Chains A and B, each alone.
Chain A
């Protein structure tokens, strides 16, 4: 007797997303190994994957929880620095593969912890206030790490916010974070394959969360907080849960980031609010609430400028116009009305033509 495999609609949708990522990975790997890819493009593959990971995490926060976060670059920063410090301290003491897995745990745990701590005050606020406070936290994290000097020697850990000299280190001690100069010498553990595996991992976590009972509870809070509260859903704890997972996923991207870069610096270029906004643009253009859309948008929009080198100067300008246009077409009540009217007319026209 043939066994019938029953795949529900949601899981087949999920499998399509995973399949797409794997297919894209296989194609890009073939390009890599046959030497068809320029070395410049090669260097963009890992960033593309980690921005896709953050976009997936941010979509959980913006699309599913319905709260706009402008501080996800900050969580990425926490993941990047905590895992880089772990790798730096344990390099040579733990075998390479295991070290990266442990570093991943450290990075994800720390960013989840920071996400949780930030979430406690932030999730009491709504809408625009929440957005601006997440932005504030992102900038606080970036600025503090940028001003931090950290070193270890036989006497223990030294911390300073002033200068390298103020650490009072013994000459044989190691400097871990050299202020604005950042962290150097993190082992180059991440590569494109690892980044794609982690992207799949992030997708599985976020998709399963969305399709679970908890995910539905979070979406009910998004759609109507008061109604959700009145049927006994613990609003605050579900908000915290979704926000913490979202921060942890961003931290995971940070781990890939720090193990792919020679000098890790907490600058605006990497972890400023502009990066958070860039990721938000991926999420919005990919479709708020669509996890697959986030992955596609992040990958395409990250690679697009390289494929359209001639347009590079106008790229951000085009971005912004497209962003505004997408928002108006998708959300403006007047436009939505006209759009449905237009499509109704076309449908009627087809019917009449057929008859």
Chain B
């Protein structure tokens, strides 16, 4: 049973990675940029929820809603101010380095406002969870909620992308920005919408992450953010089901290696898997191969 418990924990962490990776993969697929600051949007979301629910005593659900709205605004603003001017820059490194700058900015702003000390985050989920097989398998409430929320988000996103006009526009922009523009699609609006969705997901992921791992610092989001990018690459960047699969695989591997191999080597194993996958299949598990044109 202890293996099953570990596995479920991995599934829970994997679901959080998956939600972050969904945001990453959409932004990367459509805006063609690696938003290095995505992990820090999670941290911002966490601090907003912390501020409203722990300090001002608002109910968790309302705090999460506020965090989602504010993170969306933050995502749209960041894109507008820092990323859009560089979209057609001569070097693709320009926008990546700018994203690193945004990441630095958010971390240090949080450091200045909230200080470097660890804040203890009270879980947004109060349900104690399920006890199965005569109490041999304990599943925490937050674990169940996390997995359910991530599946729900996956379903909604899939429907949104394939059934709505805006979603179709996103697919078109991700395939060929120039052609999409000629077909009358507003590329700027589509990219803004993508950033809005990605940042909103980051806030939701922040709520779940901080509930499962309740210590909050300005650097809380950085590592999960990078691992979620690894998950997105693992699943095939640009693919929504791929992000889900990549996130779950990564979370399970991380928790299993932390439990059964070494807690210090878990991160090395996770990054090692990224290297191996990119060597064997550079486009990820569900990625499509793109031919380079001259």
Please give the residue numbers on chain A whose beta carbons come within 8 Å of chain B beta carbons, in ascending order.
62, 66, 68, 121, 124-125, 127-129, 131-133, 135-137, 139-140, 143-144, 146-147, 161-162, 180, 226, 273, 277, 280-281, 284, 288, 313-314, 316-317, 319-321, 323-324, 327-328, 330-335
Contact (A140, B97) CB under 8 Å given A162-B262, A328-B85, A331-B90: no
Residues from chain B with Cβ under 8 Å of A68 in the complex: 93, 96-97
Residues from chain B with Cβ under 8 Å of A319 in the complex: 104, 108
- What are 12 pairs between A and B in contact, CB < 8 Å? A66-B93, A128-B33, A128-B96, A132-B230, A162-B262, A180-B264, A226-B294, A317-B109, A319-B108, A323-B104, A331-B89, A331-B94
Select one of A144, A316, A331 contacting B265, CB under 8 A: A144
- B:255-274 near A, CB below 8 Å: 262, 264-265, 267-268, 271-272, 274
Judge whether B108 and A317 touch: CB under 8 Å. yes
Q: Please report whether the interface of chain B is mostly helix, strand, loop or mixed according to DSSP.
A: helix
Complex: A57 Cα to B226 Cα, angstroms: 25
Residues from chain B with Cβ under 8 Å of A333 in the complex: 88-90
Residues from chain B with Cβ under 8 Å of A335 in the complex: 85
Judge whether A147 and B262 touch: CB under 8 Å. yes
- Min distance, Cβ B84 to any Cβ of chain A, angstroms: 9
**Interface residues of B toward A: which range?**
35 or more
Select one of B264, B271, B278 contacting A147, CB under 8 A: B264
- Min distance, Cβ B253 to any Cβ of chain A, angstroms: 14
Contact (A129, B105) CB under 8 Å given A143-B264, A314-B112: no
- Min distance, Cβ A181 to any Cβ of chain B, angstroms: 12
Complex: A180 Cα to B263 Cα, angstroms: 12
Residues from chain B with Cβ under 8 Å of A324 in the complex: 82, 98, 101-102, 105
B167 close to chain A: CB less than 8 A:
no
Judge whether B112 and A125 touch: CB under 8 Å. no
Residue in A129, A319, A330, A331 whose Cβ sees the most chain B Cβ within 10 Å: A331
Residues from chain B with Cβ under 8 Å of A328 in the complex: 82, 85-86, 98
Judge whether A332 and B262 touch: CB under 8 Å. no
Residues from chain B with Cβ under 8 Å of A135 in the complex: 226
Residues from chain B with Cβ under 8 Å of A317 in the complex: 105, 108-109, 112
Residues from chain B with Cβ under 8 Å of A327 in the complex: 86, 94-95, 97-98, 101
- B:85-122 near A, CB below 8 Å: 85-86, 88-98, 100-102, 104-105, 107-109, 111-112
Judge whether A136 and B85 touch: CB under 8 Å. no
Select one of A140, A316, A323, A332 contacting B85, CB under 8 A: A332
B152 close to chain A: CB less than 8 A:
no
Judge whether A128 and B86 touch: CB under 8 Å. no
Judge whether B275 and A321 touch: CB under 8 Å. no
What is the 8 Å Cβ interface bit string for chain B, positions 32-50, against chain A (1 contact, 0 not)?
0110000000000000000
- Min distance, Cβ B181 to any Cβ of chain A, angstroms: 16
Complex: A106 Cα to B287 Cα, angstroms: 42
Complex A-B, nearest 6 residue pairs according to Cβ-Cβ distance, in ascending order = A320-B104, A323-B101, A136-B271, A331-B94, A332-B85, A320-B105
B279 close to chain A: CB less than 8 A:
yes
Residues from chain B with Cβ under 8 Å of A284 in the complex: 97
Residues from chain A with Cβ under 8 Å of B265 in the complex: 143-144, 147, 161
Complex: A136 Cα to B274 Cα, angstroms: 8
Judge whether A143 and B101 touch: CB under 8 Å. no
- Min distance, Cβ A280 to any Cβ of chain B, angstroms: 7
Complex: A321 Cα to B262 Cα, angstroms: 39
B241 close to chain A: CB less than 8 A:
no
Judge whether A280 and B264 touch: CB under 8 Å. no
Judge whether B278 and A125 touch: CB under 8 Å. yes
